[in-house]
Amino acid sequence: MNSLKNISKQEALAELARRELARRRLLDFVLFNFPEYKVNWHHRIIAEKLEAVERGEIKRLIITIPPRHGKSELVSVQFPAWAIGKNKDRNIIEASYSGELATGFGRQARNIIASSEYKHLFPSVTLAEDSQAKGRWNTNGRGAYAAVGIGGTLSGRGADILVIDDYCKDRQDAESTVIRESTWDWYTSTARTRLSPDGAIVVLATRWHDDDLIGRILRSENASQWEVIHLPAIAEKDEEYRKQGEALWANHFSLDKLEDIKKDIGSYDFSALYQGVPLDSESQEFRKDFLQYRSEADLKDKRLSRYLTIDLAFSDKETADEIGFCDNRVDSRNIWNLRAWGRKLSPKDLIDYLFVLHAENNYLQIGILDKHSQYTIVIKPFIEEECRKRNKFLPIITLKTQDTSKELRIRALLPRYLNKAIYHLEGACVDLEEQMLRFPKGVHDDVLDATASMVGFSQPPNADELDYLYRKTNRDRVKNNAL
């Protein structure tokens, strides 16, 4: 109260009210410490969610937001200081792509707690006299703050709140499979294990890649546990506070400024960084307007040759590719009619599955991509043995990839789609279409690669071959009915 003795009673009451609001609400706390902070409606949305994190009501929160839209000041600087003011026994870990950046956040949060303004709000909370380093400091309670770079050690540190802010530095790191894998391994094996039983995780970022940390979290088995605030720079649909096509922070980044940024950095990076979607229609090689559809009924009574191609993938990793399958029925004009899907199978289950598929569809040929000799070494001997045991021989052809890159193989499909020579069976190409529209930036391409393997493999119907297959199919049906 000493700081209020020289002002009027009305001013003193207003100041006391301002302090009480700053204790209760995060944005009021921010403005108390940083009056120049420009508040927009999106800051209020983020602050309300962070308040729910502090109260223990939200345990997992993802925030995707464009660069320079006030995210780090609010989430990584002000929020930790306010949360510790509410509970000086709270432990917070702040992580970023570099230890230097995370330490910078820690220094700013530490300085707020050490300020005279903070003492007006939370007089019982101070920094421990013997622990006040920029990135590692303790409170006068049991609370502590630790800043760390992605990949850094957290031995002996626990977290009631884990904040991960900008886990990827730039495009080069984002495109590195090694770095993305390393970030995920650090998150699962190090950061996540430091969380207290009732602890919360806040992840905020500008997106760079479909397979970044947020992308993997949202594809994981625990994705439903996460609340997501997705704030594109330009609204892609009508929202509560703006209409489609309007800017997120119009007073700071107008539509004209955003369009200038898009021209400077390119449409793909703009879509990733500013729209929060590492994919955009302008950079797509395969577009939605390429797609045309048929139903199974449309193929009834047509004489079609049928092929199956397979792109193998065997891995125990959750993020690994599925095995890609493409089932192609080709008509006399060399028009393709596709079913294409992905499935995770063990080698044994794959072999059983192949017999089931062939029994149902009677393929002329089954082509299996032999990348890195995976088929020849791992699968082929067992398939041959199983064929002998069952006395049923699958018409398998080994497809060699030679020196052709996967991207070139896949791009060989483009002329067929452009010439309207491919139909998708309704509802049977969901996996394929997702991979097509994300090519070449998508995480997975196994189904797309299996489909590309049809180029030069599948052929229009040969009358003699089809007559043989139809006779064989009818004989098999009669035999099965007799049994």
d(Cα 93, Cα 80) in Å, to the nearest integer? Answer: 9
pLDDT at 221: 85
pLDDT at 481: 52
Instruction: Enter the pTM of the model.
Output: 0.69
pLDDT at 315: 57
d(Cα 15, Cα 9) in Å, to the nearest integer? Answer: 10
For residue 326, which of 293, 377, 367 has the smallest C-alpha distance?
367
d(Cα 91, Cα 146) in Å, to the nearest integer? Answer: 8
For residue 412, which of 348, 458, 366 has the smallest C-alpha distance?
458
d(Cα 41, Cα 376) in Å, to the nearest integer? Answer: 59
Quick: pLDDT tens for 423-479: 999 999 989 998 998 888 777 889 999 999 999 999 998 766 656 655 665 665 555
Using CA of residue 128, residue 129, residue 133, residue 134, what is the dihedral sign?
A: positive
pLDDT string in tens for the chain (483-residue length): 556 666 788 888 888 999 999 999 999 999 999 999 999 999 999 999 999 999 999 999 999 999 999 999 999 999 999 999 999 999 999 999 999 999 999 999 999 999 999 999 999 999 998 877 888 999 999 999 999 999 988 877 889 999 999 999 888 888 888 999 999 999 999 999 999 999 999 999 988 888 899 999 998 888 999 999 999 999 988 999 999 999 999 999 999 999 999 989 887 788 889 999 887 666 678 988 899 999 999 998 888 999 999 999 865 454 456 899 999 999 999 999 999 999 999 889 999 999 999 999 999 999 999 877 778 887 899 999 999 999 999 999 999 876 678 888 999 999 999 999 999 999 999 899 989 988 887 778 899 999 999 999 999 987 666 566 556 656 655 555 544
pLDDT at 468: 61
Cβ atoms < 10 Å from Cβ of 34: 15
Using CA of residue 101, residue 106, residue 109, residue 112, what is the dihedral sign?
A: negative
For residue 252, which of 106, 69, 423 has the smallest C-alpha distance?
69
For residue 367, which of 324, 333, 332, 406 has the smallest C-alpha distance?
324
Q: Which tokens hold the place of 333?
A: 């004009």
What are the structural domains, with CATH classification, of the chain? Answer: 40-231 (3.40.50.300), 288-481 (3.30.420.240)
Among all chains, which residue has been given the structure tokens 């508040």? 39
